[in-house]
Structure formats: C-alpha cells, structure tokens
Structure 1
Amino acid sequence: MADKANAHPGAAGRAAAADRPAAIRNVVLVGHSQAGKTTLVESLALASGAINRPGRVEDGTSLSDHDEIEHRQQRSVQLSLVPVAWNGIRINLLDTPGYADFVGELRAGLRAADAALFVVSAADGVDGATRLVWQECAAVGMPRAIVVTHLDAARGDFDEMTTVCRQVLGDDDPDTVVPLYLPALGERRSDGTAPVTGLIGLLTQRLFDYGNGQRTERDPDEGHLPLVTEARNRLIEGIIAQSEDESLMDRYLGGEDCDVKTLIEDLEKAVARGSFHPVLAAAPPADGAKQGLGTIELLELITGGFPTPEEHGIPAVTTPDGKPRPALECDPAGPLAAEVVKTSSDPYVGRISLVRVFSGTLRPDETVHVSGHGLADRGHEDHDVDERIGALSAPFGKHQRPLDAAIAGDLACVAKLGRAETGDTLSAKDNPLLMAPWAMPDPLLPVAIEAHSKADEDKLSQGLARLVAEDPTMRLEQNPDTHQLVLWCMGEAHRDVALERLRARYGVQVDTVEHKVSLRETFASSASGRGRHVKQSGGHGQYAICDITVEPLPGGSGIEFVDKVVGGAVPRQFIPSVEKGVRAQAAKGVAAGHPLVDVRITLVDGKAHSVDSSDAAFQTAGALALRECAAQARIHLLEPVAEVEVQVPDEYVGAVMSDLSSRRGRVLGTEQAGPGSTTVRASVPEIEISRYAIDLRSMSHGTGRFSRAYARHEPMPQQQAARILESAD
C-alpha cells in the first residue's frame, strides 16, 4: 500500500502476460450507475502508465470500448476488462454496469474476480442494490474495499460518506469499515467549497499531495494533525482487532507504540481474507495530469492487500455427467479448467469469449472440451463437445493484444469458440470437467416479439440464438398455448438493449406485441348437445349424429371422455372418432379460442348410416356437439395464477403487500429472510404481474427481488372475462 512507502516506485506500463498466479490480481468494480466506476478504471490505467492520456489508447479510441448501443443508452451495459500493471503485478480490472437490468454482467464480473472495489459517490451515497451485492460478497467471503468518488460535488463529504458506509455496509462490525487516508483540502473557492488536493496517510502521517498534477510527499500541515489523531487511533484499533498476534492489543493498550510496518502487514492480511474493508478516496486527474487523486494509493492497495488467485477458492468441479472430481488448485501445471464468463460478437472477428482460467494453462490453437452449463430452460443448450480454439488475447480498448498463453488465475479473450456460451467450462479433451455454475437471477419481464418483415423472419431464429448465447439472464420461449415468441428480460433497459443488438449486430428488426397469458376455458354448468353432420353430394355422402352431455369437473382434472351408448346407436368403431373430434375441438376452445379443460364429456346416443358414416364424419359430429353444448352453457375463463415470493427490506413490506392486493393477489404469509429483510408470499394472477419486475424495482428503490412459479388456473372475474369473450365474438 502507498502508505508504507515514502514514494511510489513508478508504473510498470502495459500488463504483460503473467508468468505465475502470485503476480495476478483480479478486481471487479461494483457500484450504482454514474458512481464513477469507468472513470476510475481509466484513471488507474493512466496512473499505471497503460495509457498516456485520459480514457484513450494510442490510436485515440476509447479505453472502455463503449459500443454504439452504450452511447445511445448513456450507460455501461456490459462487462469490460482493462488489464494494467503495477510493481510487476498484472491487475485485471473488471468494470461492471451499475444499472440493475444488467445484473448478469455484474455476476460474471464477481465470478471472474478475487476481490471487489465498491465505488460509492459522495453525492449520491450507497443505494440498496449496492448493499445487496455487498451482502452477497460477504456471504462468500470476498475481500472488499470502498472507494469514495465525486468529492467535488456540492454535497460531497468524505467523512460523512465514510460514516454512511460504516452504518450501511458494516452490518456485522462497523469497526471493519475504516478509512486509510483523510482528504486534505486546498484553498477555499469563492462559493465556499474547497477542493481535495491530497491524502494524508493515517499510519505514516504523511501527506501525498496531488495539487500540482504530480503526486508528491511531504509532512502534513499543523491544522491537519488534530483530524488525523482520532482517525488514526480508530484505524490502528481496527487493525489490531483483526491481527493474528493476540499480544499486539495488550501492548497497544499498555501505551506501546506499534510498528507501522507490522500494522501494514496485519492490515494487508485482514484485507486479503475479507475481514477488513478500507475506505479510500479517488478523483480523476486534472487537465494535463497523469495521476488522479488516490490512484497510486489504490494501485498499492490492490497489489499489496488484495488476494492472489492462489488465495481465492476455486468452484467445485465434476465430470460432465455429474461424477465428483478432486478439488482443483490454482496451478498452471494442473488440469485445465477455465470458464467462459462473457460472450460477445464482433462484426469482423466473430464470437469472442472472455475466459477465466482457474487451473492449468490455456494455449492458442489447442483443442479443448466444452461442457454445458445446464440452462436449457432459458434457451441455452447443454454442451458436451470438443472444439478447437483460436488466438488468445488481452483486450485494450477496441484492440486485442496477442497472448502466448493464459495461466491459472488469469483472464483472456478466446476467438473462434463457435459453440461455447457464457457459463460453459473449458477443459482438456482427455479430462473433461464441468464447473459448478454461478447464481444467475431469473428474467421476469416477458417481451412478445414478431419479425418485422419476411426478410427478418428468415434471420430471426439465428439472431435470437446468438443473442441468448451471449446473455444467460435472457430466456427465449415459444409459448405452445399463445403461439407467441417471448423474450424474457431483466427489465426495460435490458429489453431495449436486446432488441437494439438484434437490429444493429444481427440485422433483424422485430416488433413488440402485447404479451398474452395462457388462458383456459371450462364449463360453469352442465349442458347437452347434438352434433349432426349429414351431407349428400353424389356418391358416398357423410352421415354422423351424436348426442353428448358435458359437466364440469374440479380444477386440474383435464378432459374425461365417457362412452354410455347403448344398443349400438353409434357403432363401436366410430366411438374413438367422436372422442377424437371433441378433444380436437376442446384444444381449439369453444368460446374465445383458449383450450377447454376440467370437463367430463359423455357420449349418450347417436345415429349412423351403413354406407355414408365414416371416421371423419363422426369426428366432425363430435366437434359440432361440443360447440352446441357450449352455446347453451355458461363458460368460465380460467387465468393462470402464480405463487410469488417477494423479498424486500422491512420498510417496504407494507407497500408490497398493499400493491399485491391491488393486483388481485392473496397474501399467504410473511417470514423473516434475514436481518432487516422480509419475504412476502402471495398468489397473484399472472396477467397482473407481467410488469412486476419494473414496478417492484421502483417501489423498493432497487432493493426488492421476487420469484414466480406457476401454481394453477382459476376462474377470471366475470367482468374481465366478459371483455375477452366479447372481443372474441
């Protein structure tokens, strides 16, 4: 960390391929949209010497490689990798979108990383979604640090934001969320605000001054010392509490001065194991400057305090058919086990896969085994094939820099993996492995689409297949009841990006249409009817008459067909024909075109002709008889009902329960889901929750999550059913 040195030793420039896992750090940046994650990545790249001007590589293109869609969205919508180097350490910076719709990209970044930087805006604070991700990282023990940005904002206050972080993120122990540096303020401006020009190291009590655009070191001013003393004592006490040396606390309480070097070593160990979370400040470089505020300190924290891939656990592996395998180690000489964490398409290169190598060494132009990820229910087929990979490279802006190999712990882009999708495992063809999948939320916003033209229809299938291959949070469904093509997305922004990618990347224009739920029809009362199909047009005619009765059955009974014909009124060979006819008509519906269910249909009588009766005639007569029964009876429309579980912070429980009731939902109960969180269970008609993913996010300020599962079909309220029946006439 920078506080342990009198001056930073300088940048190492571009990130070359690592030769050992200990020389790699994989860091994911997490935070809400507009918190400054991408700006921070660019500042770190500039400070490390990876680029020579803010945000731009040598040819002037953007370092962050924003595509056309991101420019239109005015937000990051995909995971991006920027490798830099510092003190001989390769740092893979994974920049994630902050908007909730692109949580799949965030989860991919968490999977690929060994530590996380939580970027918090001093102007906006910590939002609920960021807190949820912090809790997820805490649950798996991922090391975390906090970076406060936007200190120059009107409401920006480092001390206040540190207090907020301690309260909101330090759930278990606020004393583990402590700043390493205090901002030093420059001369006050005319509006009364003062710029942050430097950072005071609390352990060494040295001032790192960025005021002239170049980081220099000196003693702090006299006015800074009273502020430093209290914060320094809190930091030292926090470090000692995490120290493995139990005698250190006794010596400190006894008045003994603690060696700064020992404190830094204990701090780095506590950060690496995920039990201590330092808070730092950062700001982009001033015009013409090479170093932004806090960038050197962050680079030192990453290289000195964050764990190596060897210190981070590797997901469990099995064979592709599910047989357990011994746990892997982060060893370049071990069996190959890598995972596709992101899939994208380049119009010139084709499909590019971002891969995290967990074990072994991946080399260009070798044949690997691709094992599927078990997301077939989302339109992602399982894979169990051998495939030859293309070149390996490290992304840098819009360019790919060639790599000779990617060792265990590193990340690389792989070309020409035509079958592999996000979440797939790459392993040796003679030792195939499958890694345990990472948690991925279900897409809950349905979007029904149709091809805009015949030309689009011809390309639609291939375009959609490539689209869902890139994004495991997307699900493609061909609804067998409504015959609609439905793209399930995470939210409106996710939907817009998906449709724009279809158009811009794959040349497919689609139209969105109203999403339909799978309704059913049933009889509300018993009825009887006759089907008469008699025609004579020369030669053999058509003759079939059948009498049936229909009576309702309990929900879930399906359709029963009963034969009660006596005296051979309907010849035995034609009774299956009648059943086939009524079942075919039931599948088409009898009122509004929705399948008929939960009825008993009884054939009671009929007539036949020795010459003109046929299988086809009795099928037609059976269908006519069922339609006549429907004309005499009251028909109920049945709508699908989902069992919904909504998890929200306690302060939103009342609003959620009230909202569910307004959607004709029945609240079944609540239960505690964790500290300050409650799960609400309810039965809700599916037609009422088609936009619930959007509405819940708004209602809970991004902190609510829900799941849904089909439960049953229930009668639709008469007024709503009447409107649907009238529109079908």
Structure 2
Amino acid sequence: MKGNSIGIRSVAIVGPYLSGKTTLLESLLWVTKAVSRKGTVQDKNTVGDSSQEARDRQMTVEVNAAHTVYEDVRFTFLDCPGSVEFAQETLNALIGVDAVVVVCEPVVDRVMTLSPLFKFLDDWEIPHFVFLNKMDRADVDFMEVLHALKAVSSRPLIPHQYPIGRGESILGFINLVNEQAYHYHPGAPADPVPFPNELKEEEQLARMEMLETLANWDDHLLEELLEEIEPPEEEILNDLKMELGADLIVPVFFGCADRDYGVRPLLEALLQETSEPTAIAERRNIKSDAEIAQVLKTYNTQQGGKLSLIRVWQGTITDGMTLNGVRIGGMYRLMGQQQQSINEAHAGEIVALARMEGIKTGDTLSPAEVPALRQPEQIKPVFAMAIQAEKRNDEVKLTGTLAKLLEEDAGLRWEQHGDTHEIILWGQGEIHLQVALDRLRRKYNLPMVTHLPQVPYKETVRKSTNSHGRYKHQTGGHGQFGDVYLDIQPVARGDGFRFGEKIVGGVVPKQYIPGVEMGVREYLTTGPLGFPVVDIAVTLTNGSYHSVDSSEQAFKQAARIAMQEGMAKCEPVLLEPIVKAVISVPTDFTSKVLRLSSGRRGQVLGYDAKEGWTGWDDVVVLLPQAEMHDLIVELRSQTMGVGFFQCEFDHLQEVPDKLAERVLVTTGHSNGKR
C-alpha cells in the first residue's frame, strides 16, 4: 500500500429507497474479501445500515462508512440514505468522494426519482456511474431504461455493457469496450464465453453510441470512427477515465447485487476509470501548503463519544494533530460500527476523528488558517412535530440533548415557538422525525410525547368603539385609583399595534401613561377569542386620577378593564397565518399540484419553468399554515417522491366563519372566555 494519494479511492453509493444500495456495498466487501460472511438486509447483519434505527426499518437512515483493499487500492465506500427524507445526510457526504455509484432499479416509471440527485451531482461536477440493480427482475429492454435515464440527466449516459438475456433469464453481459462476452456465476467471477452473434446488431448500436459520445471530446477518436478504424481498447479506457473524471459522461453498468452479478466489472471500472483523489481537489480549487480536511458527518456514539467523519483533501493528517484549535483524540477507519485505530490518513482517505469538540458537519479543518470549503446548501425542513419530555424531570436536559441530536443530523431543526410556547422539532418528513425520536429514546434515554404543532392564530377587530375602565381599591391607608377612557380601532392588516394618547389638561398625569400602555399590551396577549390581538390602535383620550391613591399600577389595571369591556363590542375576528409556498415538481405533475393546492384552500399565483431544472416547474401558491402540516407527505405521494417546496410567512388573513367556529371549539375558546 502506497503512503500517498495514489492507491486511494473514496466512493459513495446512493440511490432511491429499496434500490439495493446496502446490498451492493455488502457484495463489494464480499468479493474483495473485506468480510468473511455476506450479510443481508433481511437478516439485519450488513455492514451498512448498522444502527438499530436503520435495521428496524430496513432502510438506510445515516451515512455508513466501510473500507476494503482491491488490487493495491484502498477503497472507502459510503453507503448513503436513499430516502428523500434523509437527503441532507447524503448531500453532505457526496461532496467528499472521488466518485459516486447511483443505484437504481430497471423500472422506467421510477427513473424520475433520480432527477434531483443527478442535478446535485452535475452542479458539483462529481463523477458518477449508474448501476442498474435487480436486472433479474427487469421486464423492459435495457436500452429502453437507458433512454428513460437520459431524460433526467443533463450529462449523457453511455452504456458500458450490453446484457445477454433478460429478466430471470439474464445470463451475462458483453463488455462494450473490448466486446468480450461473459456469463454470470453465483459467488464467482463471470466467465468469458464466445460472442453471441444473435446480439451482434444490438450490441453494435450500443457500442457505437458509447464511442460517438466519447468522440465528442476526442478528435482523434472521432477521426478513427469516420475512417472506420477500430480504436484500441487502451484509447477507449483513457477517454472513459478522462471524461468521467471531468463529469462529462455517466457510464452505465448493471447486475444483481444480491447474487454478486455485475459487481466485479463495476469494481474494475472504479479501479481503472475513476481519477486519483488529487483531481477532484484541483477541481475544487483547493490550494494551500497546509493539511486540509472537511467534516462529512458527525456521530455521537454511546461508547466512544463524538466521531467526526472527514475527507482528507490535502496533506497527511496524523493522530494528535491540532486542527482548528482542537487536538485529535483518536483516528479510525470505520467498518459500519466497528473501528480500526490508525495513526495517519493521506489525501483522499475518509476516516473518523475522535473527540473533536466544537467541530460540526461541513467544517473545514486545518492546522493553519485556510479559506472555508464550500458546503451543500441546507435543505429547509418541511415537517414538524411538537415534542415534550415524557418525564417532567427530563425537561432540564432536553435542550442539550437536542443540540447533540442536531449535531448528528444536519437535516433537523428545533425551536421554541414564541406564540404557542411549544418545542417544535422540524425535519424532512414523518419517518425522519420518527428516527430522531427513536434516537432520543435509545441513545439518550429521553422518551418524548408528541402532538401536532398548534397553528399560531391571531385575532383582530372589525369595528371601533370607546371604552371606559375604572380601578378603585381601598385596603386601609393608601388605596389604588385609576380611571381611563380608550378609543379602540382596527388598522390595516400587518400594521400591528399602535398606542397613542390625546390627554388635555393633565387629567392623566404623564407618569401614569406608560402604565396605561402596559395594561393594554398585557391584555392583547390573549384577546376575547383566546389568541394574541394584532392590527389594532388604542388611544388614551381621557381619565381622572387621585393625588394620593393613584399609581402606575392602578392605571395599568384600569386599562385592562377598559380593554376587556371594549373589545367584546368590536366584533373580534380570528386570523390565520398564510404562507407563500414555491412548490417544485416535474412538469408532468404540475396539474396535480394545482389540484392539491385548491384542495387545501390555496390560491395559485402562477407557475413557470424552474430555473436551471430541465422539465421542472415552480408553482407559487398562497396556503393557510393550518393546511401545511402534511403537505409534503401528499406532495411526495403524488410526484413519486421528488416534489419539494420552500415557504415563508406572507400575511395574516381572516378565517372563514364556519371554519373559525370549528377552530374555537377545537382550541377550547368557543365560549369566548379568556
């Protein structure tokens, strides 16, 4: 094993839920003899999906790292979540690898689910392959699937192989580089076999497609094709490596990972056609004399404490080195949840550093001061639950534990809502939050009780009125006396609260006027319908005082009395928050989004082509916040999981009368009591 970046490759494995990513990783580890026994997702004994949360659901919920050595090259594989609900976890990891294997099933209707992933990889210029898994279950022609894949990728996809057989009858493949045919054998490498002449025409079409695409960036190859000269194998492989490394092409492989079919040819391509780690570092413009690394993932383990999974971009990181002012407390290669202690890591390697307190996912690490490396954009959360500790005594440790939870999962957010005073946990979907709650219970012994977040309704008034409030209290000695007259008026939506005074002749001394405003403000925190009052103007117009018994506190109480009596005469009305949502979907689903919006009391403002996304639309909608809770669930169910949205508060709007009645009954304010 060489001690520098030559001989090192880091590869991410990603794809839609149930495409077989974890099974492919297990097969790669098995054929390279990194594991002595091949695990299965069903038996819950794979290297990937090693956490209990993943095994309970039989799905990848966080990045898992594994390493192996093949042909004197050390590979680090990152098994990434496929569910869109854990996309932030995946994106954070993808920026740190030399190449990506996109795993998908040979089902034309599901190809659309790869569109956002391809977009991200191309935006970051990350070299990637496609591996069509489960080819023994394919019921369509290989070239038909390839055509569908091309429609969702901005880079040309080229076949690297052509199948022999189809579905359950798949026998092997033809390598389109050297036109050698192979037959699969369970648990063993594929054997060379004579070329199947009955496939000659189809194979030639697929091979010519590959060569013509490569010739777009190689004039010499183009001349050979025009002159009908057979290009040498070495030239084709060099073009594949160069154009793959520049993210100009996407080679397509296929197989059946659970039977190890097609895994060895994929591994050979990762060995021969992926660029050295320095190439992607140069493309990211990482130039410095110092050692540089970046944190791709943070784990908080129950036994070993905090682990930071890093990509070494430049130089050699050694155990005990100080990075960003923090001393490394241990260095490990990971094999799922197993750790192998090491002393150093070279450029291109992905390893875990222990006890890097204060360091978070995405951070750039170096012993010197260097520019921060680019990070993926943070995906805004779209699904929320209100949470509280099941045991009251646990409330004191909730904030600290949530901080640790968010340190591990950058896709989560939490807030204490200023109006409802609930602690709200935000994520990318229902399963995402269920996994987070499971971690709180299992890892931190902090079980939670959950419910839907309250909608932060407000109220205002429709009519103006004059109101009088007098507070008089005698307890022996000095008493309390305050007397005020208030004008209460509605103001334009969004103007908030305004207080003023028109006192003449000092009937209310200036030192007591702040008490009047304070009393009004305190009342407005809970109006006659039971919600905070907004968009209202209150003016102090008159009053009286006692030279001995009056005080600021007395005038505060008088103002509250005046507000309580006056507000009931002003026709209070319930307001709900309206958000402006930009819903992004493939054009084929735009009509469904329009129907979805109208079914949730939405107002469609318009839709247009989504900038930078071929075949996608942005639909702009005004929606009541009360209709937003499970919007992402329905949106994904109607768009094959790819639809997404961003939203922000826009304005408050009156709730329709019948709906307002239901809200008041539900919230316990139907009797109008405070």
Of 594, 600, 607 in structure 2, the residue corresponding to residue 670 of structure 1 is 607
What are the within-5 Å matches in structure 2 for residues 261-300 of structure 1?
Answer: 261-284=234-257, 292-300=260-268
* CA distance in 2 between partners of 1:205 and 1:432 (Å): 49
For residues 714 and 212 of structure 1, the distance between their equivalents in structure 2, rounded to whole angstroms, comes to: 65
- Corresponding residue to 1:203 among 161, 174, 177: 177
Q: How far is the alpha carbon of 1:360 from its aligned partner?
A: 2.9
- The DSSP-based 3-state class of the residue aligned with 1:618 is helix
TM-fit CA distance, 1:253: 2.9
Task: Indicate the residue corresponding to 1:390 in structure 2.
Answer: 329
Given that 1:55 and 1:64 are in contact with CA atoms closer than 8 Å, whether structure 2 keeps it comes out as no
User: If the length of structure 1 is used for normalisation, what is the TM-score?
Assistant: 0.86
- Partner secondary structure for residue 43 of structure 1: helix
> For residue 96 of structure 1, what is the amino acid of its counterpart?
C
Q: 1:347 to 1:295 in 2, by over 3 A?
A: same
Extract unaligned runs of 5+ from structure 2: none
Note if contact 2:112-2:152 (Cα within 8 Å) is conserved in structure 1.
Answer: no
Q: Cα 1:623–1:671, aligned 2, differ >3 Å: closer, same or farther?
A: same
SS, match of residue 335 in structure 1 = coil
Give 1:442 shift.
0.7
| Pairing partner for 2:346 from 399, 402, 407 | 407
Report how far residue 299 of structure 1 moved: 1.2
Does the C-alpha gap of structure 1 residues 710 and 194 become closer, same or farther in structure 2, counting only changes over 3 Å?
closer
Q: Quote the residue 1:166 is aligned against.
A: 147
Count of residues paired in the alignment: 662
1:154-176: CA deviations, max 9, x gaps? x445xx244223333355789x4
Q: Residues 171 and 547 from structure 1, CA distance in 2 versus in 1: closer, same or farther, beyond 3 angstroms? A: closer
Q: Which of 37, 40, 46 pairs up with 2:21? A: 37
Distance verdict in 2 for CA 1:272–1:697, change over 3 Å: same
Alignment-derived partner of residue 687 in structure 1? 626
Could you tell me how far apart the structure 2 residues matched to 1:652 and 1:411 are?
39
User: Alpha carbons of 1:212 and 1:535: their partners in 2 closer, same or farther (altered >3 Å)?
Assistant: closer
Matched, 1:20 2:9: no
Please give the alpha-carbon distance, in whole angstroms, between the structure 2 residues aligned to 1:723 and 1:537.
45
Q: 1:532 to 1:667 in 2, by over 3 A?
A: same
Which residue of structure 2 aligns with residue 246 of structure 1?
A: 219
State the shift of 1:206 in Å. Answer: 2.3
Q: Does 1:182 align with 2:121?
A: no
Output the amino acid matched with 2:563: L
2:447 maps to 509
Q: Of the candidates 258, 263, 269, which is equivalent to residue 231 of structure 2?
A: 258
Aligned pair partner of 1:151 in 128, 132, 135:
135
Between the aligned partners of 2:230 and 2:581, the Cα distance in structure 1 is 58
Aligned-partner Cα distance in 2 for 1:522–1:636:
5
What is residue 323 of structure 1 aligned with on the other side?
none
Letter matched to residue 223 of structure 2: D
What letter corresponds to residue 546 of structure 1 in structure 2? V
From the superposition, tell whether residues 128 and 200 of structure 1 become closer, same or farther in structure 2 (CA, over 3 Å): closer
Indicate the SS of the match to 2:185: coil
Instruction: Return the alpha-carbon distance in structure 1 between the equivalents of residues 425 and 22 of structure 2.
Output: 30
Q: Would the alpha carbon gap of residues 422 and 513 (structure 1) be closer, same or farther in structure 2, given more than 3 Å must change?
A: same
**8 Å Cα contact 1:150-1:156 kept in structure 2:** no
Work out whether residues 545 and 607 of structure 1, in 8 Å CA contact, stay in contact via their aligned partners in 2.
Answer: yes
- SS of 1:55's equivalent? coil
Q: Which residue of 2 is the match for residue 524 of structure 1?
A: 462
Q: Are 1:123 and 1:150, in contact at CA under 8 Å, matched by a contact in 2? A: no
CA distance in 1, matches of 2:410, 2:634: 23
1:477-496 pair list within 5 angstroms:
477-496=415-434
- The 5 Å alignment of 1:61-140 reads 62-64=46-48, 66-122=50-106, 126-140=110-124
Q: Deviations over 1:585-614 (max 9, x none)?
A: 12x222233222221111111121121111
Identity %: 29
Please list, as runs of the form range in 1=range in 2, the aligned pairs for 1:430-449 lying within 5 A after superposition: 430-449=368-387
SS in 2 for 1:652: helix
Deviation string 1:113-148 (CA, Å, 9 cap, x unpaired) is: 222111122357634332221122223332221111
Distance 1:143 1:527, change over 3 A: same
Tell me, in whole angstroms, the C-alpha distance in 2 between the residues paired with 1:162 and 1:699: 27
Q: Which runs of 5+ in 1 are unaligned?
A: 1-15, 187-192, 287-291, 317-326, 370-385
Matched residues in 2 for 1:393 and 1:271: separation? 30
TM-score by length of 2: 0.93
CA drift at 1:270: 2.1
Q: CA RMSD in A?
A: 2.3
| Structure 2 letter corresponding to 1:104 | Q
1:251-650 superposed matches below 5 A: 251-284=224-257, 292-313=260-281, 327-329=285-287, 334-369=289-324, 386-428=325-367, 430-586=368-524, 588-650=525-587
d(CA) in 2 for partners of 1:124 and 1:345? 40
**Change in 2 beyond 3 A, CA 1:96/1:348:** same
Following TM superposition, by how much is the alpha carbon of 1:526 offset from its aligned partner in structure 2, in angstroms? 0.1
Task: Give the aligned residue type for 1:226.
Answer: E
- Cα offset for 1:83? 1.4
Kindly tell me: are residues 724 and 629 of structure 1, through their superposed partners in 2, closer, same or farther at Cα, counting changes over 3 Å? farther
- Report the Cα distance in structure 2 between the residues aligned to 1:25 and 1:88, rounded to whole angstroms: 11
